[in-house]
Amino acid sequence: MYVAVKGGEQAIQAAHQQQAQRRRGDLNIAELSVTQIQGQLSLGVERVMTEGGIYDQELAALAIKQACGDQVEAIFLLRAYRTTLPMLFTCAPLNTQKMRVQRRISAIYKDLPGGQQLGPTFDYSHRLLDFSLLAEGLGKPTATQEADASTGSNTEANTEPSLQQPFSRVFNMLEQQQLAKPEVDCAAEPADISRDAIHFPCSRAARMQQLSRGDEGFLLALAYSTQRGYGRNHPFAGEIRCGEVALEICPEELGFNIEIGSVLLSECEMVNGFVQPKEAPAHFTRGYGLAFGFSERKAMAVALLDRALQAQQYDEAITSPAQDEEFVLAHADNVAAAGFVSHLKLPHYVDFQSELELLRKMHQSQHAPCANTGYPSGNPSGQPSKQTVTKETDNAKV
């Protein structure tokens, strides 16, 4: 338990000023604009939007600037801003079949309708530092612009988008051959964990929402743990696609749907180890992940955990952390996690004082001649101390 303290306003103000100066950095160097962050640190912006739970590039970029690049702090800022806005609409469910695909890969079929398209990616790069990026402002064309210029006429000729086959879903093919069960809409109103706290066991909708907002590092580590043997589910990256999906709302005043914009998404469908139910043919199982922007590592982690958390449904033994719904979902949110860890910085003077006193009494009793009574000699009442329980109550009270 922590206690309220007074005073220190000036020091706090000065500390915030110091933080503002640290944010600005060397005054001889041009200030970073929100537009620059939005345009040039897009993956950072996309992570903040995904975990902050709001698609708004400008706000996410502002949060990153304000937080000096601290992603968890930026996510917190965005979540806090979210609570100030009224909920005006619910968009029509995302139709990812109509995605304007930029990237689409499959690790299970080499040739598939629509083909494989890499889009922008770090894959296949050598992960060597590119020192040419250090030479700022020299007006040199970027590597991509150069590539566009050199291959432009060549690629345009044989890759006219209108001549392309559409990117049909990989899972459709598996479903048609009865190798996978189609995901069917149960038509239930989905839970909203941002309004009603999550309870366990929870619905898949609540789970998907919590995973979508969950910390990428935490989810990635847990997804990795399933690959290392802690709840194996034998995954293949069935399909990963990134691109823009239109957003539609149906305002009451109009009574019909209109498009109001679009979101850039990464979608991952994992094909997982098969099951052999008595009433149906053997089929693969599946996991699904969605994230804003080109955040496919996050989407893959979510898909792996979505499948790991279906363990009970498939009568699998729940032996590992990644399969434990409460363990995964109750610890996935980095705003909650950072909040509770950070609260340790709040004044715990009284708490600590009581422990200190107890420890001192124990020391005294060890050195005092009457130590064999088992009670501290300094205890005027001669009764045993009951102060050791303070720590355990911390968690429950906050």
Pick out residues in 59-78 that bind other proteins (CB under 8 A). 59
Residue 278: both structure tokens together:
């008595």
Interacting positions 14-53 with other proteins (CB under 8 A): 49-50, 53
Q: Which is nearer to other proteins, 112 or 376 (by Cβ)?
A: 112
Segment near other proteins (CB under 8 A), from 228-236, 253-261, 355-363, 374-382?
253-261
For the sheet with 258-275, list strands across it.
100-105, 236-249, 258-275, 283-292
Q: Which is nearer to other proteins, 111 or 392 (by Cβ)?
A: 111
Residue 88 binds other proteins (CB under 8 A)? yes
Asked if residues 298 and 50 have their Cβ atoms less than 8 Å apart, the reply is yes
The distance in angstroms from the start CA to the end CA of the chain is 8
Interacting positions 289-328 with other proteins (CB under 8 A): 290, 292, 306
Q: Which of 34, 45, 48, 55 binds other proteins (CB under 8 A)?
A: 55
Q: Which is nearer to other proteins, 38 or 365 (by Cβ)?
A: 38
Q: Alpha-carbon distance 81 to 78, whole Å?
A: 5
Helix axes 204-213, 296-308, angle to 10 degrees: 150
| Min CB(195)–other proteins separation in Å | 9
Question: Which phi and psi (to 5°) does residue 270 adopt?
Answer: -95, 140
Q: Which of 4, 128, 197, 254 binds other proteins (CB under 8 A)?
A: 254
- Specify the DSSP element, H or E, that contains 102: strand 100-105
Q: Which of 46, 73, 216, 269 binds other proteins (CB under 8 A)?
A: 269
Residue 50: both structure tokens together:
């995904």
Interacting positions 175-214 with other proteins (CB under 8 A): 182-188, 190-194, 204-206, 208-209, 212-213
Q: Which of 42, 227, 262, 354 binds other proteins (CB under 8 A)?
A: 262
Interacting positions 96-115 with other proteins (CB under 8 A): 96-97, 100-103, 110-111, 115
Compose the 108-147 pattern: x for residues touching other proteins by CB under 8 A, - for all others: --xx---xxxxxx---------------------------
Segment near other proteins (CB under 8 A), from 65-73, 84-92, 128-136, 223-231?
84-92
Q: Which of 31, 146, 156, 326 binds other proteins (CB under 8 A)?
A: 156
Binding residues for other proteins, total number by CB under 8 A: 82
Asked if residues 174 and 167 have their Cβ atoms less than 8 Å apart, the reply is no
Give residue for tokens 């000023």. Answer: 17
Instruction: Return the amino acid letter for 238.
Output: G
Q: Which is nearer to other proteins, 287 or 376 (by Cβ)?
A: 287
Asked if residues 249 and 92 have their Cβ atoms less than 8 Å apart, the reply is yes
Q: Which of 257, 366, 373, 393 binds other proteins (CB under 8 A)?
A: 257
- Specify the DSSP element, H or E, that contains 328: helix 325-330
Q: Alpha-carbon distance 6 to 331, whole Å?
A: 32
How far is residue 191 from each of residues 197, 210, 269, measured CA to CA in Å?
10, 10, 22
Segment near other proteins (CB under 8 A), from 17-25, 161-169, 271-279, 336-344?
161-169
How far is residue 378 from each of residues 351, 354, 359, 386, 388, measured CA to CA in Å?
20, 14, 12, 15, 17
Interacting positions 367-396 with other proteins (CB under 8 A): none
